[in-house]
């Protein structure tokens, strides 16, 4: 892949948005929640509502950046792809669009629907909040990112096989494996997402994607104008 100046700017911007989303929704937002408004481990909707604060929506607010940033990145990869790889670029962007739809819908639930229904229906709150490891929110989250993993697998061959781009290819394929693993486990092992090994897998996903985004920024930031 040898993008022109405009295309490199889009790739760098998309990767920077994703990276900022990972940092802000992860260490920053989660740290603020644990410091200012921690939730106890899931027991029931009543306990969740008693400990609820708007601060707990921050990880999802910043999570929009991850899904949105991938849309920008994948559209840039499509534009920069060689003609014989264009079909892979279209597939990557299509799967990214489906993924973003699921993830955006989930974060709308977490940031708007759940707060609005806190004192209306404990049943709906329990069914949708991601504080509950068996909720609709987690199903949308894990399937959404599983589909995003398929998108990164399609996008991986768009990068050159050597050098820094070769490392990005490997990270994109590894992301696919981790993402699909997480999605497959949702209906098989209920509640696994908030177990210790679920947290480890989530941390691994964030690490893989963060490194890939840093490499993309470094690879394309200094490309000469064409």
Helix%, strand%, coil% for the chain, nearest 5: 80, 0, 20
Residues 26-35, mean pLDDT to the nearest whole number: 94
- Inter-residue contact 138 to 129 (CB < 8 Å): no
Average pLDDT, stretch 169-195? 94
Cα–Cα separations (whole angstroms), residue 27 to 13, 78, 169: 21, 31, 26
Distances (CA, A) of 122 to 47, 58, 114: 10, 22, 10
Spans of all domains in the chain: 5-221
> Residue 180 belongs to what H/E stretch?
helix 163-188
- Rounded to whole angstroms, what are the CA distances from 131 to 106, 125, 127? 13, 10, 10
pTM: 0.93
Distance CA 61, CA 41 (A): 21
pLDDT category of residue 81 using cuts at 50, 70 and 90: confident
Q: How confident is the model at residue 223 (pLDDT cuts 50, 70, 90)?
A: low
Report the candidate in 37, 43, 74, 42 with the shortest Cα–Cα distance to residue 59: 37
Give the whole-angstrom CA distance, residue 40 versus residue 58.
Answer: 17
User: How confident is the model over 97-127, as pLDDT tens digits?
Assistant: 999 999 999 999 999 999 999 999 999 999 9
């Amino acid at each position: 892949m040898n993008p022109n100046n405009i295309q490199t700017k889009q790739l760098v911007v998309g990767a920077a948005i994703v990276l900022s989303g990972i940092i802000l929704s992860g260490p920053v937002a989660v740290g603020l929640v644990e410091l200012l408004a921690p939730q106890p481990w899931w027991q029931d909707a009543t306990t969740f509502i008693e400990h609820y604060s708007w601060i707990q929506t921050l990880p999802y607010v910043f999570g929009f950046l991850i899904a949105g940033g991938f849309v920008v990145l994948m559209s840039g990869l499509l534009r920069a792809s060689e003609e014989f790889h264009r079909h892979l670029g279209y597939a990557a962007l299509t799967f990214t669009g489906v993924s973003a739809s699921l993830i955006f819908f989930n974060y709308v639930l977490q940031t708007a629907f759940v707060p609005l229904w806190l004192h209306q229906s404990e049943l709906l709150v329990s069914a949708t909040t991601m504080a509950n490891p068996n909720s609709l929110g987690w199903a949308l989250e894990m399937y959404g990112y599983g589909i995003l993993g398929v998108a990164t697998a399609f996008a991986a061959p768009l990068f050159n096989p050597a050098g820094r781009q070769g490392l990005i290819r490997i990270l994109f394929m590894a992301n696919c494996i981790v993402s699909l693993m997480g999605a497959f486990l949702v209906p098989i092992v209920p509640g696994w997402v908030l177990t210790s090994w679920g947290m480890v897998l989530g941390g691994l996903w964030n690490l893989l994607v963060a490194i890939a985004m840093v490499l993309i920024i470094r690879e394309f930031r200094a490309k000469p104008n064409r």
